[in-house]
Amino acid sequence: MRVALVTESFLPTLNGVTTSVCKVARCLRDLGHQVRIIAPGPGPSTYEGITVHGLPSVPVRRFPTGVPTPALRRAIDDFAPDVVHAASPFVLGARALQLAHRTGTPAVAIYQTDMPSYLAQHGGALLGAGVAEASWHWIRRMHGHADLTLAPSSATLAELRARGVPRTDLWGRGVDTALFSPRRRADPEGAALRRALAPGGEVLLGYVGRLAPEKELWRLAEVARIPGTRLVVVGDGPSRAEVGALLTEAVASMPGRPNRSPLFLGRQSGADLARAYAAFDVFVHTGTRETFGQTLQEAAASGVPVVAPARGGPLDVVDHGRTGLLFDPDVPGSLHQHVDALVGDGTWRAALGAAAEQAVRGRSWESLTTQLVAHYERACTDRTARSARTVPAA
């Protein structure tokens, strides 16, 4: 099968969309399929032997946003795909879905970013609700061109259906259990990192992700003051300075002996990221607008219990009381209460972490990509059936 993978984000930008695109492209290739990645430039011309077709882009909030020029149509037509895969479509992906609809090419859209909530948050008090509603209108129209829209979690799937998005189904996310593993904690480099981060034997509370307003990182101030802990933040973004100042002040203002200052490790990837996860004692996630929560799976694969909001994607990833804990984001102090309970009970932390690691063992990217190919085949069959129904009788 020839798959044109059109994405709103790709290397060198690092985020959840980029990660999933890279994993899917590699697994599709390994399964014997032909893949072409079409993405905003500037970026690499190839990825592990897969051709990457870069398109013009403009920066929006320091994020390269692709421009749907005629070059997009040429890139798709030249490749002649059997299916168009639109990863988190909004601009490039929206146009790709429209082109696929016009040419009768089967198309699958991957809903991955909660754009309405993002726009509502950044639109201000007066414009936010209106902008969010307008974006839902755009999403319904855009995904109406797809033969199938795949949601990453049951909560997101329910919202898409409630909003009138047609032809939807569930497709989760894989996790690299060879890279993310509890074994990282005990290897020499992992043990050295652990000693450096917690020289006084502190319980390490970790966060991994983009440092931006939509991640609601102000919630971390609740846990920064738990005695005997140290907060470690992995990632970067426009809120780096603001979050740093907030969390440093939270620790400095503690009564009695303050904790060590929060530590910001910046962006990490590969083995460095895996060692950071494994060094944590508790993984803390703060955002309430996640369609899935890939970092939660990576923490779980590393044998680290997760504390996350009881909302959206985490509901599918965290089994409350068995693999982690879900806090109520509407109740002040709920996050603090749940994290504090784990800080005080190392045996419970270990049990939750072991169960979390066991729970994600079967979620490899290879198995998820095999499921995705079945969705491609379904889209092709459905496209053929709909086309036959629209052909007038002779």
- Per residue in 279-326, pLDDT tens? 999 999 999 999 999 999 999 999 999 999 999 999 999 999 999 999
Position 287 scores a pLDDT of: 95
122 versus 319: the higher-pLDDT residue is: 319
Q: Report yes or no: 321 and 328 within 8 Å, Cβ to Cβ.
A: no
- Judge whether 298 and 324 are in contact, CB under 8 Å: no
| 330 and 302 fall within a common domain | yes
Provide the pairing of β-strand 282-284 with 203-208. parallel
Kindly state whether residues 148 and 225 are assigned to the same domain: no
The pLDDT, as a whole number, for residue 256 is 87
Do residues 164 and 61 share a domain? yes
Q: Are residues 36 and 84 in the same domain?
A: yes
Q: Does one domain contain both 105 and 189?
A: no
Secondary structure (3-state) at 38: strand
DSSP strand E in the chain: where? 2-7, 34-40, 46-47, 50-55, 57-60, 63-66, 83-87, 107-110, 148-151, 168-170, 203-208, 229-234, 263-266, 282-284, 306-309, 324-327
Reduce the DSSP state of residue 137 to 3 states and report it: helix
Looking at the structure, tell me whether residues 243 and 373 fall in a common domain: no
Q: Are 368 and 347 part of one and the same domain? A: no
Span 59-95, pLDDT tens digits: 987 789 999 999 999 999 999 999 999 999 999 999 9
- Per-residue pLDDT of 220-259, as tens digits, reads 999 999 999 999 999 999 999 999 999 999 999 999 889 9
Instruction: Compute the distance between CA of residue 388 and CA of residue 385 in angstroms, rounded to an integer.
Output: 5
In a shared domain, residues 148 and 286: no
Hey, what are 26's tokens?
A: 């590699």
Residues 187 and 261 in one domain: yes
d(CA 86, CA 109): 5
**CB atoms < 10 A from the CB of 141, how many?**
13
Structural domain that includes position 277:
182-359
Task: Determine the pLDDT at residue 5.
Answer: 98
**58: CATH:** 3.40.50.2000
Q: What is the pLDDT of residues 171-183, one digit of tens each?
A: 999 999 999 999 9
- What whole-number distance in Å separates Cα of residue 286 and Cα of residue 20? 21
Number of domains observed in the structure of the chain: 2
> Both 203 and 320 in a single domain?
yes
Q: Residue 394's pLDDT band (boundaries 50, 70, 90)?
A: very low
So what's the pLDDT on residue 217?
A: 98
Which tokens sit at 207? Answer: 């966060």
Q: Three-state SS for 99?
A: helix
Q: Are residues 123 and 229 in the same domain?
A: no
User: If you average pLDDT over residues 159-170, what whole number do you get?
Assistant: 96
Is there a single domain that holds both residue 275 and residue 145?
no
Q: Average pLDDT of 360-373?
A: 95
Q: Which of 259, 279, 264, 132 is nearest to 209 (CA)?
A: 264
Of the candidates 153, 151, 288, which has an alpha carbon nearest to the alpha carbon of residue 214?
288
Per-residue pLDDT tens digits for 199-213: 999 999 999 999 999
Report the C-alpha gap between 101 and 107 in whole angstroms: 8
- The most distant pair of C-alpha atoms in the chain lies apart, rounded to whole Å, by 86
Which contacts (CB < 8 Å, 24+ apart) does range 75-79 have? 75/4, 75/36, 75/38, 76/4, 76/6, 76/38, 76/100, 76/105, 79/2, 79/4, 79/36
Predicted structure pTM score:
0.89
Terminal-to-terminal C-alpha distance of the chain: 32
